[in-house]
Amino acid sequence: MERDTMTVLNQHTCCRKYCVFVCKKGVKVTSALLIPLLLAIFTVVITFEQKADADKQRFEDRELAQKQRQQDLNQSILSRENDRTIADAKRLADDLNAEKQRNMSRALEESRYKQERQRYFDELLISYLNDIGQLLKENNGSLTSNPASAALARAKTLQIAPHIGPVRVAQLIHFLYDAGQLTRGKNPLDVSGTYFHGVDLSTSSLRHISLVGAYMNNSSFTGQDVSEGDFHNTHLNGADFSKANCTNTSFSEATMIDANFSQAILHLATFSHVQLIRANFSQANFTNIMFESANMMETDFSHTSLFSIKFSKVDLTKAKFNAATISSYYSHVSFFQSNMQHTNFSKSYIPRSRFVECSLIGADFREVELFRAYFEYCDIDNVNFTGSQLGSATFNRSSLAFTALINTGLEETMFPFSELSYANLSGACCYECGKQCNSGCEWRNILTRHNIILCNGTIYRDNSIVRSHLIQYNTSVKNEWDEVSLFPPVVGRVYQN
């Protein structure tokens, strides 16, 4: 038993010794292996750290190099841009300097050319004056006394006038006028067909001047005395006669489109067969004037003073007579066979005026003084007489269809054989103020009054329409009324239906 115990103890002792030995050896071996392993691990870690640092450094160096290259590239680009800008600025400055030099040279050349040209024209004018002066001496002061000298003077004038300019042309005209060669009624020099465009003759009086047949578009006679002058068949488009004295001046057959006669004195002036489209006569003073066979579309007569004016066969379409006045109780304005469609007479004072065989379709007669006016054989359809005074006026054998007579004064107004279909008489007065036309206005011989709007707003129904076919723009009103006069007239008062 003890032996076994000893054996076990011996075994345990041996085992413990062995374990101690193994542990010691193991520790020695482990110690011998761990240090190199740690050194190896440390070396590897250091290596990786160094590699990472190296990579980071290389990356940073690469970034720095890239930034440096970009900076160098930008600097190079900027430098090239600056160089290009400087080169462009220099080139532009050189071009500008060259252009300035060329302009200066050109201006100098043009100035020299103009001076030479002016000198040449001066020499032409001097030569012309000398030649005409010599002709005057040779013909006792008259260029037209001898047909040869007249033809030579006319040829020289025709040849030189278009070239020497408006200023010298004015001098030429004044020379001929002062020499008595352009005086109306004294065998003046023939200047028809001569170009005197744009000439300014507003510097001195030109009474009795004769410029028959000349071309004087855009010329100026502003404020000058051209009374007794002769502008027969003269071209005066755009000419300015504002504030000029045109007493007894002849403009027959002249072309004066867009001419300006504002504030001019037009006593006994002649305007037959003229072209006066869009002419301006505003605030002009008319006395004893006759416009005959003239085209005066859109002409302005606003605020004019009228004394015994006649318009015969004149086209006054869309003309303006607004605020025009008759200057004397004994004067009147008359229109015969004239076209005045859509003409404006608003706020004018034209009593005793006469309108015979005229077309007044669509005209504006608002607030007009027309007492004792006389209309015969006229187309007065769609005309606006609102607020006008028509006392003692007569509308004989005329058409007033669709005409507005609103708030008009109709004291003793007569409409013999006239058509009043669809006319509007709202608020009109026949006698004392307030007495309505449907309360006692006696209008005898009215041709038809179908659908008239009476003063109180009611409509008068008249089924007997006599003249339904008459409103035609291309036929004579007088001829048609002569036919219609075969029908019996409507006689009686106008009463409310």
Give burial (CB, 10 Å; 0-12/13-18/19+) of 196: buried
**Position of tokens 């020299």?**
112
Close Cβ partners of 210 (under 8 Å, ≥ 6 residues apart): 182, 183, 184, 188, 229, 230
Q: What is the pLDDT along the chain (497 residues), one digit of tens a residue?
A: 656 667 666 666 777 776 776 677 776 767 667 677 777 777 877 887 888 888 888 888 888 888 888 888 888 888 888 888 888 888 888 888 888 888 888 888 888 888 888 898 899 999 999 999 999 999 898 889 889 999 999 999 999 999 999 999 999 999 999 999 999 999 999 999 999 999 999 888 899 999 999 999 999 999 999 999 999 999 999 999 999 999 999 999 999 999 999 999 999 999 999 999 999 999 999 999 999 999 999 999 999 998 889 999 999 999 999 999 987 777 889 999 999 999 999 999 999 999 999 999 999 999 999 999 999 999 999 999 999 999 899 999 999 999 999 999 888 888 999 999 999 988 888 765 444 454 446 567 888 888 888 877 788 776 544 443 333 434 455 555 555 444 444 333 333 33
Asked if 172 and 164 touch (Cβ cutoff 8 Å), the reply is: yes
Cα angle vertex 59, ends 58, 63, to 5°? 115
pLDDT of residue 2: 59
What are the backbone dihedrals phi and psi of residue 309, each rounded to the nearest 5 degrees, phi first?
-110, 135
Assign a CATH topology to domain 281-497.
Pectate Lyase C-like (2.160.20)
Asked if 340 and 360 touch (Cβ cutoff 8 Å), the reply is: yes
pLDDT of residue 8: 63
Cα angle vertex 191, ends 187, 197, to 5°? 145
Count Cα neighbours of 374 within 13 Å in the Cβ-side half-sphere. 9
Close Cβ partners of 212 (under 8 Å, ≥ 6 residues apart): 188, 190, 191, 192, 230, 231, 232, 233, 234
pLDDT of residue 495: 34
Instruction: Give dist(CA 446, CA 239) in Å, integer.
Output: 49
Supply 412's token pair. 């003793």
- What ranges do the domains of the chain cover? 1-118, 281-497
Q: Which among 390, 456, 465, 470 has a CA at the least distance from the CA of 424?
A: 456
Instruction: Give dist(CA 117, CA 123) in Å, integer.
Output: 10
pLDDT of residue 47: 81
Which residue type sits at 105? S
Which residue type sits at 390? L
Own/partner pairs for 306-311, CB < 8 Å, 24+ apart? 306/331, 306/333, 306/350, 307/331, 308/332, 309/333, 309/334, 310/334, 310/335, 310/336, 311/335, 311/336, 311/338
pLDDT of residue 487: 40
Instruction: Give dist(CA 386, CA 388) in Å, integer.
Output: 6
| pTM exceeding 0.75 | no
Instruction: Kindly write down the DSSP assignment for every residue of 478-492, as one continuous string.
Output: HHHHHHHTTSPPB-S
* Element at 292 (helix H, strand E): strand 285-292
